[in-house]
């Protein structure tokens, strides 16, 4: 292929990642499994395509998106991070305009938690923020049902607490000098309900959990249920 031809084409996995919100690794898996055709022909890894080529995924034409989009959203408690309703539980997509319903959440917050959620169609960006090897820092404000004992604070921060899926270690900082109910929790992991399970293993219930930061991104002054369009590249 000549340099001129190369400049006019794009790697297929990059194209899928851009227009489907995949990471390139996920796009490669789609190609390997034969889910992707170009001009009605199943292609191999490393394929390149031109603007005039027709790309089919699962037999359906791929609807191209013009650019990557990033939203920073302040999730209220009482919503699930899912496109589909779970029983009678409302989803965060009910709070977003329809033109953003194709975006995927970068990680999740559980139904009772609130705070920063990032949504995007950039699969590589999602991979960099969520894969454990990148150790992205997340910060939460947590309120407990009763004062945290100093010994338990030391256990969590210095040694970690053993959960059924492995040890859980988080940095804790008091948010109030008046009591030991409110804590700033900083962690680099993101296992399912990890903060709640960690405190529960020591006899505490997390009454409120609010995420303020995810990696380099902060919730700032975004109001609950509202979002901002941001440039996170």
Residues taking part in catalysis: 110
- Cα–chain-centroid distance for residue 154? 29
Rounded Cα–Cα distance for residues 127 and 122 (Å) = 9
Provide the strand spans (E) within 60-214: 60-61, 70-75, 104-105, 114-120, 138-144, 161-163, 166-168, 171-174, 182-187, 206-214
Pairing of strands 171-174, 182-187: antiparallel
Nearest one of 133, 131, 101 to 24, comparing CA atoms: 131
Nearest one of 233, 28, 232, 22 to 122, comparing CA atoms: 22
Please check whether residue 128 is in contact with residue 134, taking contact to mean a CB–CB distance below 8 angstroms.
Answer: yes
Rounded Cα–Cα distance for residues 161 and 201 (Å) = 8
Phi, psi for 199 (deg, rounded to 5)? -70, -40
Q: What angle do CA 108, 113, 156 make, to 5 degrees?
A: 90
* All residues at 6 or more sequence positions from 138 whose CB lies less than 8 Å from its CB, including other chains: 186, 187, 188, 190, 211, 213, 214, 215
């Amino acid at each position: 292929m000549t340099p001129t031809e190369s400049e006019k084409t794009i790697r297929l996995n990059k194209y899928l990642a851009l227009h489907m919100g995949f990471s390139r690794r996920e796009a490669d898996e789609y190609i390997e499994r034969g889910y992707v055709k170009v001009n009605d022909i199943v292609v191999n890894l490393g394929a390149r395509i031109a603007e005039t080529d027709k790309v089919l995924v699962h037999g359906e034409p791929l609807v191209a998106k013009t650019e990557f989009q990033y939203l920073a959203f302040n999730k209220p408690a009482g919503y699930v991070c899912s496109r589909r309703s779970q029983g009678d539980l409302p989803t965060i997509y009910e709070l977003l305009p329809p033109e953003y319903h194709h975006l995927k959440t970068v990680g999740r917050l559980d139904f009772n938690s609130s705070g920063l959620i990032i949504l995007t169609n950039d699969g590589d960006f999602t991979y960099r923020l969520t894969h454990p090897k990148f150790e992205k820092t997340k910060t939460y404000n947590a309120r407990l049902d009763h004062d945290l004992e100093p010994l338990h604070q030391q256990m969590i921060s210095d040694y970690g607490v053993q959960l059924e899926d492995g040890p859980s270690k988080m940095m804790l900082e008091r948010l109030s000098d008046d009591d030991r109910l409110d804590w700033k929790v900083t962690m680099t992991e993101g296992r399912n309900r990890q903060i709640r399970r960690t405190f529960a293993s020591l006899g505490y219930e997390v009454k409120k959990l609010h995420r303020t930061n995810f990696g380099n991104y902060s919730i700032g002054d975004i109001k609950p249920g509202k979002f901002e369009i941001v440039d996170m590249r």
